[in-house]
């Protein structure tokens, strides 16, 4: 059995399958992206053991835990063997305590070689959050709603640039309409873990493009070190004609069910004002989608101007993009970045 700190353990996961022995609810709240859940305790069992620990102490809790685990031991070992590659597997629990140590011991008794994460998932989270401050050259892609930032971001990647797609990992486009058609979002922890996994694949000494977002994207939160890094980084603000933005929004959302669009508009009542909200709803009923987009963009553009002034610590570079071709626009952004030493 070998023990590794968080950074070394994560390096191993490129080739080493990893087992998370925490309960299913702990795993669902957040886990190392490559991990497989082989829980030592079910959720109700973990709750019982925790209560006994508080009321009667460690030994009583351990005795109850063994009562739960003993009937599962053969199944746990078989599960680990089915996951292991070359008889090797990584193991972690919450704090790197008894759950991971006892489980790793049992796996080794059954012929496996185990690498254990020192400090467990908690140590991994602390290390990962600090690691978000590591990139030396973030370039923040900014621009008003409907300007095609995400499309451009992926065109940048296709052109060989490094990117982080926050909205992709959040499974949300960041507005009141951002969740339409995308399904459930991950937990904030898992969103951050997945972001970190992506960051770990990049060269943090070189340029990395990232779209400017608020502190929250839908229901998930950006890691604070990354948020602060984005605020202090150089931003490139794209300016796109209103007609192009309206066209893109209608294309992206026009085919969505009308009831979902209506619900999203109603969410903005306090910010739009009753009169503008009612106007947008009436236009939606008449299927005047271009006009709906214009009403909404009037609000979103004011919000964009305010947030740009408030949250960007440096004056952004501004570039006007007349083309609706993301690949053309990506090339222009690369040229601008190179000319300005970004």
Report the catalytic residues.
93
**113 sits in which H/E element:** strand 113-117
Strand partners, 90: 18, 115
Q: State residue 92 phi and psi, 5-degree precision.
A: -150, 160
* Cβ-based neighbour number of residue 125 at 10 Å: 19
SS3 4: strand
Cα(50)–Cα(266) distance, integer angstroms: 44
Which sign does the torsion angle of CA 10, 11, 12, 15 carry?
positive
- Plot region of 26 (φ>0 → left; ψ -120 to 50 → alpha; else → beta): alpha
Radius of gyration of the chain (CA): 25
Cα(152)–Cα(158) distance, integer angstroms: 10
Beta strands, E only, 220-282: 220-221, 234-239
Closest listed residue to residue 94, CA positions, set 41, 21, 8: 21
Cα(262)–Cα(160) distance, integer angstroms: 40
Residue 118 burial (C-beta neighbours within 10 Å; 0-12, 13-18, 19+): middle
């Amino acid at each position: 059995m070998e023990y590794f700190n968080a950074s070394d353990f994560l390096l191993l996961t490129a080739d080493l399958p990893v087992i998370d022995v925490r309960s299913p609810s702990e795993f669902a709240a957040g886990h190392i992206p490559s991990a497989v859940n082989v829980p030592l305790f079910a959720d109700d069992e973990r709750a019982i053991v925790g209560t006994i620990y508080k009321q009667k102490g460690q030994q009583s809790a351990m005795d109850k835990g063994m009562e739960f685990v003993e009937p599962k031991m053969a199944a746990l070992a078989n599960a680990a063997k089915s996951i292991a590659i070359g008889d090797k597997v990584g193991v972690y629990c919450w704090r790197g305590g008894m759950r991971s140590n006892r489980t790793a011991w049992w796996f080794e008794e059954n012929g496996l070689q185990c690498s254990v994460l020192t400090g467990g998932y908690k140590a991994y989270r602390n290390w990962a959050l600090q690691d978000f401050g590591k990139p030396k050259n973030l370039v923040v892609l900014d621009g008003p709603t409907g300007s095609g930032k995400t499309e451009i971001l992926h065109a940048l990647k296709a052109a060989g640039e490094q990117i982080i797609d926050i909205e992709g990992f959040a499974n949300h486009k960041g507005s009141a309409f951002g969740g339409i058609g995308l399904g459930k979002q991950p937990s904030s922890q898992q969103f951050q873990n997945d972001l970190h996994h992506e960051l770990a694949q990049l060269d943090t000494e070189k340029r990395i493009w990232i779209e400017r977002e608020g502190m929250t994207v839908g229901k998930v939160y950006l890691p604070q070190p990354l948020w602060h890094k984005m605020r202090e980084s150089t931003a490139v603000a794209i300016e796109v004609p209103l007609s192009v933005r309206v066209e893109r929004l209608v294309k992206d959302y026009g085919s969505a069910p009308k009831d979902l669009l209506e619900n999203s508009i109603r969410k903005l009542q306090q910010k739009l004002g009753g009169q503008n909200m009612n106007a947008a709803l009436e236009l939606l009923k008449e299927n005047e989608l271009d006009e709906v987009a214009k009403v909404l963009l009037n609000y979103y553009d004011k919000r964009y101007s305010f947030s740009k002034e408030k949250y960007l610590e440096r004056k952004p570079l501004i570039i006007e993009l007349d083309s609706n071709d993301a690949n053309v626009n990506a090339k222009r952004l690369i040229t601008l970045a190179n000319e300005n030493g970004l």
